[in-house]
Amino acid sequence: MKNTEDFIGITVNGPDAPGIVSSITSILAENAVKIIDIEQIVIRKLILLSMVLDLRESKGGQISLLKDLLLEAKRLDVDLDFKIASGDEHLQYDKDFMYAVTCLGKRITANVVAQISNAIYSENVNIERITQLSQGELNCIEMIVKTDKSINVRDMTRKLLSISADFGVDIAVQKENIFRRSKRLVVMDMDSTLIQVEVIDELAKSAGIGKEVSGITSKAMNGELSFDESLNKRVGLLTGLDENFLDKIYHNIPFTPGAKKLVKILKKLGYKTAVISGGFTFFTDRLKNELGLDYAFANELEIENGKLTGKVLGEIINGESKAKILEDIARKEDIALDQVVAIGDGANDLLMLDKAGLGIAFNAHKAVREQADYNISQENLDSIIYLLGISEKEKNTI
């Protein structure tokens, strides 16, 4: 039976300086003390070092060790506190019950942190660690929380939705496991996700039927009209449009802020990337080449004698097709679905988002926001990386 006095927790805090960790751990080494848990953070030149120690095989007694540590702390001009720790409590570590709560916003205030903390506390969940993922202004934090029982991630996320609405921040809850930080495939919608426009609406403007087509697009994106029906109606209205307009539109496409940077980061990190769109291959194929994506899938417009015929060739890529293509790519690359990230904004993206381990509705339509597990309303697409546990400092080194 373990003696609880064989385990102590120590906390060192004060002005940071070289040699603090070395000095403290040297005393532990001299006394044959085993470190069973350790964590250190430095915030604006202030150090916080915490350790849990196992004294069962130490050479000296507890009093002698603590005396040496307190004297060394005084020499180093830092404070050292200690408490008796439960061996069972600190030796057990169940990853299944660890969760990451990520909060993004233009500015995260103390009130936001307090509201999130209160919501977490009300579920009998303990905050283990808080990390700032952004640099400079506080606009992204990650909380690692722990509970003695599994929680429903979707329910917890929805409970935090009111905070998101009240303070203009985005909050996501994910299981903290190996899959969160080992994503390997990112698939993205094109229109209003990778780029800022709906290509078919731009084509309609060129044909002088912009309002008519954009109205159909809006209904489709909100799920009021089946995607197949809406696509056929809109493409039909484009009959006779000169194909030269397609090239002109492509060269004037505005990318979503952060889109190119996101793809660059993902490629550097070894992710496979794909665009799966209900739009058209004329555009997705060019985006694939320009950005260096691994895959591109979309609908093919029929063109005869340099004019659009108003028809789509082959099977329409709709919501069901998108989800299936995601699965096909993952299978081909031997990637588990838990390691897939899907990003989209429309109703025809929902099945794809649901299929992925991390499905993100990015600046999505209301109907999509209400059904998706994760919602991001940030300006920049590269803010997605925070949900992968990548900090801004890490991002800027890539």
- What does the block give as tokens for 308? 């659009």
> CATH 3.40.50.1000 occupies which residues in the chain?
185-396
The span from the CA of 125 to the CA of 117, in Å, is 9
**270, 256 contact by CB (below 8 A):** no
Using CA atoms, how far apart are residues 100 and 201, in angstroms rounded to an integer? 39
* Residue located via tokens 């590269």: 382
54, 191, 228, 345: the catalytic one is 191
d(CA 161, CA 168): 10
For the record, the structure tokens of 201 come out as 């609406």
Task: Report d(CA 248, CA 241) in Å as an integer.
Answer: 13
159 backbone dihedrals φ, ψ, rounded to 5°:
-65, -30
- Rounded CA gap, 390 and 394, in Å? 6
pLDDT tens track, the chain, 398 positions: 345 568 899 999 999 999 999 999 999 999 999 998 888 888 888 999 999 999 888 887 788 899 999 999 999 999 999 988 655 554 444 445 889 999 999 889 999 999 999 999 888 888 988 888 987 776 899 999 988 877 888 788 878 888 888 898 999 999 888 788 889 999 999 999 999 999 999 999 999 999 999 889 888 777 788 889 999 999 999 999 999 999 999 999 999 999 999 999 999 999 999 999 999 999 999 999 999 999 999 999 999 999 999 999 999 999 999 999 999 999 999 999 999 999 999 999 999 999 999 999 999 988 888 888 899 999 899 999 999 888 887 877 77
What CATH number labels 4-91? 3.30.70.260
Q: Where do we find the tokens 């489709």?
A: 220
Task: Report how far residue 209's alpha carbon sits from residue 203's, in angstroms, rounded to the nearest whole number.
Answer: 9
Angstrom distance (rounded) from CA 25 to CA 10: 12
- What is d(CA 179, CA 99) in angstroms, rounded to the nearest whole number? 12
Quick one: the chain helix, strand, coil %, rounded to 5? 45, 25, 30
Are β-strands 170-175 and 295-304 bridged in parallel, bridged antiparallel, or unpaired?
unpaired
CATH architecture of the domain 185-396 equals 3-Layer(aba) Sandwich (3.40)
pLDDT value of residue 93: 47
pLDDT at site 175: 87
Q: Give catalytic status of residue 94 as yes or no.
A: no
- Burial group, residue 25, by CB count within 10 angstroms (0-12, 13-18, 19+): middle
**Exposure string (b/e) for 74-110, b if CB count within 10 Å is 16 or more?**
eebebebebeebebeeeeeeeeebbbbbbbbbeebee
pTM to 2 decimals?
Answer: 0.81
The upper half-sphere exposure of residue 216, i.e. CA atoms within 13 Å in the direction of its Cβ, equals 19
Q: Do 80 and 70 contact (CB within 8 A), yes or no?
A: yes
Looking at residue 181, what is its pLDDT? 80
Q: For 323-352, what is each residue's pLDDT tens digit?
A: 999 999 999 999 999 999 999 999 999 999
8 A C-beta contact, residue 297 and residue 306: no
**Alpha carbons 163 and 168: distance in angstroms, whole number:** 8
DSSP element (H, E) containing 57: none
CA distance 343 to 375: 10
pLDDT at 196: 96
Distance from C-alpha of 178 to C-alpha of 219, rounded to nearest angstrom: 39
Q: Where in the chain is the domain with CATH 3.30.70.260?
A: 4-91, 95-175
Q: What is the total residue count of the chain?
A: 398
CB 278 within 8 A of CB 343: no
Residues 6+ apart with CB under 8 A from 99: 125, 144, 145, 146, 147, 151, 153, 156, 173, 174, 175, 176
Q: Is 166 a catalytic residue?
A: no
Q: Which of 54, 170, 189, 228 is catalytic?
A: 189
**CATH value of 95-175 in 3.40.50.300, 3.30.830.10, 3.30.70.260, 3.40.50.970:** 3.30.70.260
Cβ atoms of 100 and 125 within 8 Å: the answer is no
Instruction: State both tokens at 336.
Output: 């588990």
Q: How far apart are CA 169 and CA 187, in angstroms?
A: 24
The tokens of 148 are what?
A: 């003695």
3-state DSSP assignment of residue 311: strand
CA-based max dimension of the chain: 92
